[in-house]
Amino acid sequence: MMRTDAAERKKTGETPEEQMMREKREWAAADAKSAELEIQGNEAFKNGDYKAAFTGYTACIQLSPQEPLYSLNRAAVVLKLRLYETAVQDASDAINKGDFNRAKAHFRRGQANCFLGDWDKAEEDCKKALNLQPGDRSIIKQIAELKRLSGLSSDERTAWIAAQGPAMLRDIFEDGDLNRRVEEMLKR
């Protein structure tokens, strides 16, 4: 990293202090743009336009990958889009990025694992969420649903999982469409 920084300074003619200040300005600008895009994503989510919300949060993650809120928000969107594996990954990213709203991140990952039929992981996440946010009715309801599902026969479980209809990203966006949409948002 130090070599990369030195090479960049040599190329730009900056001192270490100038480079640091430039990078801080770039990060601040990226974070400000992410905040604007998050507002658009939140509005799209409220309006049920999950493709637009997904696109907005994806752009936020590209601009400000250190911010757990954008992964957490996208996890909510992908649950609506039935992209359960992506929801697991996004919720895990939010958990790994810091202490910001871990209960919600565990809950969303638990929901996604439930839909994927990985009920042991789902229960583990929901219990962690409930421990972090005792008395939350949504979490309690999800735990009750997991108990109900675990009581089903093997055939009933298989049928329930199949009925959840997990999707793939290519089911939602045509080839290159997501990247094009994200690039358009970033240019605005």
Question: pLDDT digit string (tens) for 24-80?
Answer: 787 777 778 889 999 999 999 999 999 999 999 999 999 999 999 999 999 999 999
CB 112 within 8 A of CB 85: yes
User: What's 129's DSSP letter?
Assistant: H
Question: Sign of torsion, CA 85 96 56 63?
Answer: negative
Q: Round to whole Å and give the CA distance between 92 and 104.
A: 11
Q: Taking phi first (over 0 means left), then psi (-120 to 50 degrees means alpha), and beta for anything else, what does residue 13 get? A: left
- The angle that helices 16-46 and 50-63 make with each other, rounded to 10 degrees, is 170
Q: If you classify domain 2-187 with CATH, what class do you get?
A: mainly alpha
Q: What is the pTM for the complete model shown?
A: 0.85
User: What's 126's DSSP letter?
Assistant: H
Provide the residue ranges of all domains of the chain, joining segments of one domain with +: 2-187
Report pLDDT for 165.
87
